Amino acid sequence: MNHKFAIAIHGGAGTILRSNMTEAMQMAYEKGLEAALHAGIAVLKNGGRSIDAVEEAIKVLEDCELFNAGRGSVFNHIGKHEMDAAIMEGAQKRAGAVAGVGHVKNPISLARAVMEKSEHVMLAARGAEDFGRAHGEVFCEDAYFFTEQRYEQWQEALKNNNITLDHSDKKFGTVGAVALDVYGNLAAGTSTGGMTNKQYGRIGDSPIIGAGTYADNNTCAISCTGHGELFMRAVVGHDIACLMEYKGCTLHEACDILVHDKLIKIGGEGGLIGIDKHGHIAMPFNSEGMYRGCADSSGMLMISIYKD
Amino acid sequence: MNHKFAIAIHGGAGTILRSNMTEAMQMAYEKGLEAALHAGIAVLKNGGRSIDAVEEAIKVLEDCELFNAGRGSVFNHIGKHEMDAAIMEGAQKRAGAVAGVGHVKNPISLARAVMEKSEHVMLAARGAEDFGRAHGEVFCEDAYFFTEQRYEQWQEALKNNNITLDHSDKKFGTVGAVALDVYGNLAAGTSTGGMTNKQYGRIGDSPIIGAGTYADNNTCAISCTGHGELFMRAVVGHDIACLMEYKGCTLHEACDILVHDKLIKIGGEGGLIGIDKHGHIAMPFNSEGMYRGCADSSGMLMISIYKD
């Protein structure tokens, strides 16, 4: 045991501007992020495992209707909620992911069930839901996922025939967490409600192991939020791990190469959170803002939204 | 122009034993592989692009009922054919993928349409089919995908409640191609009919960019076939590219590290085909056999099944 633990979370990146935010809204977002961090810390400070901390922190974000994941998921083209999630642990590099699932309260828990209770890594749509029902996951009616704000965004998108990444402004609605526990184990998880008015069963980077979600005890745990297609083509999570393992980069150097160089060059807007085995945390983004927070066993706790 | 071109293809890896193969069967497989190679060569020798060569070679394999992709796809748990495919080009690292699609004659062409005609990288199931219909892809009735042999495999699997990767023996049914064209551009593609009696909308490594399929002009193009879950966790295709780019490995060294070391350690049976910008080709596998072939502008043409 190294007795040190650390956790970082995000609630999405994008064009988040102070000028568009009321004080009450900002406080609500900060409160949501803080609750998620505390859920993770509660696990870690009692000697719990990083995979549990990641799941608990993400469940809080999924249950909060402000974030585009779980309860707060956006409406797709036909007025449904199609969610994706992935989780990975760094000791054995086991992973679970679900794509295009509806009605499940906590997609991150379903992804974990896939990891632990199936022989598979990734299950999709109806099949993933059937698997979840067979393994005791909680399912909710459409009403649980209904929020006036998301409904209006959808109506607006339908009217304009737009597919938007989260709100009417350019925002990548995703939540995620990465953690190091006192046993030196890393874990990462990501969950999203996708794009408003999305069609064609689009799958983004969140549930793709190596792209939006990756964890390896030897290097780092990563959770991304951004323009998913470009994050998939750049295999962002795994590329950061390889820059550390094969090129000797630090976590910060590797994250900066991805976020401020490689992704910029291909127009990949967004950000990510990363943690290494020493508990170092990186939270870079190339967008206007990223809902984010981190904490560790020294008592440090930080929540932030803008660049400042 | 370097005037040099090269192509490699595979038709799956696994427990392919001489003792289980009739001479007629072996000749049929070899004929299928040769036809696919010639389709790719026909594109490349006329100055065609590697992405076209990959698509044409894979279409031949998809149209051949011997291979578990397209027409020869296995039956899933409910007697349907659920196919996955991905394609990627190495110049701009654009990619397209489809998962869980039914009735489409050539999933590799649908993946290419996603790459070229959508803003997305990955589309799933019904959504991917709708997209294909809107963009002129060819769809076929169930009868097109019916083969007596696959049907019997499914009935056998249902009876034993087995989910098998291809045949009754351990065989990873996938097809793939990688190519270098005279302009120095690399491309990779992979297509599969999944697992006999598969449930729960399982997605394997084939349509995952970075895992079963990857291409980057700076390093290599890779197409995998094997125990998909382990190939996903190891992010095989992208790991080979990173070993070359960040650690200075040759294509052969990087492929060997994955297939004969990393994958062995986690029990990941299978193989892959890889090509680099010089036209070097690697076709390693850690299973009993792998249906494979390669050819280049020097006139070399090779087809092989066993270890020999």
Task: Spell out the domain ranges in chain A.
Answer: 6-306
Q: What is the reported pLDDT for B167?
A: 44
Of the candidates A126, A232, A243, the beta carbon closest to that of B246 is on A243
A257 inside 8 A of chain B by CB: no
Q: Tell me whether A118 touches chain B (CB under 8 Å).
A: yes
Q: Considering only the top CATH level, what class is B6-306? A: alpha beta
Residue ranges of A 142-171 with Cβ closer than 8 A to chain B: 163
Indicate whether B2 pLDDT > 70.
Answer: no
CA atoms within 13 A on the CB side of A3: 1
Name the least confident of A76-80, A114-118, B231-235, B263-267: A76-80
What average pLDDT score do residues B129-142 get?
Answer: 97
Q: Say yes or no for a CB contact (<8 Å) between A233 and B209.
A: yes
Q: List the structure tokens of B308.
A: 């020999």
Contact between chains at A200 and B239 (C-beta distance less than 8 A): no
Collapsing DSSP to helix, strand or coil, B204 comes out as coil
- 8 Å CB contact between B273 and B262: no
Which of A76, A202, A269 to mutate to probe the B interface, most B CBs <10 Å? A202
Average pLDDT score, chain A? 94
Residue B28 pLDDT: 96
Looking at CA atoms only, how far is residue B300 from chain A in angstroms? 33
Cβ of residue A94 closer than 8 Å to a chain B Cβ: yes
Subunit contact A199:B266, Cβ cutoff 8 A:
no
- Residue A166 pLDDT greater than 70, yes or no: no
User: Nearest-CA neighbor of A11 among A294, A200, A249?
Assistant: A294
Cα–Cα distance measured from residue A71 to residue A53, given in angstroms and rounded to the nearest whole number: 20
Give the whole-number percent of chain B exceeding pLDDT 70. 96
End-to-end Cα, chain A, rounded Å: 36
Rounded distance, CA A85 to CA A212, Å?
10
Best of A121, A232, A236, A262 to substitute, by most chain B Cβ atoms within 10 angstroms, is A121
pLDDT confidence band for A138 (50 / 70 / 90): very high
Establish if B11 touches chain A: CB-CB under 8 angstroms.
Answer: no
Q: How far is B227 from chain A (nearest CA, A)?
A: 10
Distance (Å) from the C-alpha of residue B66 to the closest C-alpha of chain A?
26
Residue A128 at interface with chain B, using a CB cutoff of 8 Å: yes
B174 is catalytic: yes
Q: How confident is the model at residue B168 (pLDDT cuts 50, 70, 90)?
A: very low
Q: Is A82 helix (H, G, I), strand (E, B) or coil?
A: coil
Residue B118 sits at the chain A interface (C-beta within 8 Å): yes
Helix locations, chain A, DSSP H: 23-45, 50-63, 107-117, 125-134, 148-160, 228-233, 236-247, 251-257, 263-265
Given the residues A174, A192, A213, A225, the one annotated as active site: A174
Residue B298 distance to chain A (closest CA, Å): 32
**Subunit contact B238:A243, Cβ cutoff 8 A:** no
B17: pLDDT confidence band, cut at 50, 70 and 90?
confident
Most confident of A72-76, B238-242, B304-308: B238-242
Residue-level pLDDT at A165: 56
Whether A83 and A190 have beta carbons less than 8 Å apart is answered as: no
**Residues of chain B neighbouring A100 (CB-CB closer than 8 A):** 124-125
Coil, strand, or helix at residue A32? Answer: helix
CA distance linking residue B255 with residue B276, whole number of Å: 11
A298-302, B14-18, B34-38, B120-124: least confidently modelled range: B14-18
DSSP assignment, residue A37? H
Distance CA A62, CA A11 (A): 10
A273-280: average pLDDT: 98
**Lowest-confidence pick of A164-168, B141-145, B302-306:** A164-168
B278 contact A CB<8A: no
Residue-wise pLDDT for B264-279, tens only, equals 999 999 999 999 999 9
Which chain A residues have a beta carbon less than 8 Å from that of B95?
A: 232-233
Residues of A in contact with B88 (CB under 8 A): 233
Give the pLDDT band of residue B169 (cuts 50, 70, 90). Answer: low
Phi, psi at B125, each rounded to 5°: 50, -135
Q: How far A180 CA sits from the closest chain B CA (Å)?
A: 19
Contacts of B208 in chain A (CB under 8 A): 122, 208-210
Distance of CA A91 to the CA centre of its chain: 20
Q: Find which of B114, B165, B203 to mutate to test the A interface (most A CBs within 10 Å of its CB).
A: B203
Strand segments, DSSP code E, in B61-104 are 83-89, 95-101
Predicted confidence (pLDDT) at residue A84 exceeds the cutoff of 90:
yes
At A18, is the pLDDT very low, low, confident or very high (cuts 50, 70, 90)?
Answer: confident
The single residue of B15, B22, B174, B250 carrying the catalytic annotation is B174
pLDDT, tens digit, 9 for 90 and up, residues B204-223? 999 999 999 999 999 999 99
Structure tokens at A277: 């085995």
- Cβ <8 Å between A125 and B202: no
Q: Does A15 touch chain B (CB under 8 A)?
A: no
Instruction: Sheet with A220-226: list strands edge to edge.
Output: A213-215, A220-226, A270-276, A281-282
Tell me: pLDDT of A169 over 70.
no
pLDDT at A235 over 90: yes
Give percent above pLDDT 90 in chain B.
Answer: 86
B80 touches chain A (CB under 8 A): no
ipTM above 0.85, yes or no: yes
Closest chain B residue by Cα to residue A215:
B233
- The answer to whether the Cβ–Cβ distance between A122 and B242 falls below 8 Å is no
CB within 8 Å: A95 and B233? yes
How much is the pTM?
0.96
Tell me the nearest-neighbour CA distance from A166 into chain B, angstroms: 16
Contact B210 A238 (CB under 8 A): yes
Mean pLDDT of A251-268: 98
Determine contact: A238 vs chain B, CB below 8 A. yes
Element (H, E) at B153: helix B148-160
Distances (CA, A) of B308 to B18, B246, B288: 11, 33, 10
B208 close contact with A: CB closer than 8 A = yes
The answer to whether A121 contacts B214, with C-beta atoms less than 8 Å apart, is no
Q: Parallel, antiparallel, or unpaired for β A83-89 and A186-192?
A: antiparallel
Mean pLDDT of A235-263: 98
Quick one: closest CA in B to A131, which residue?
B200
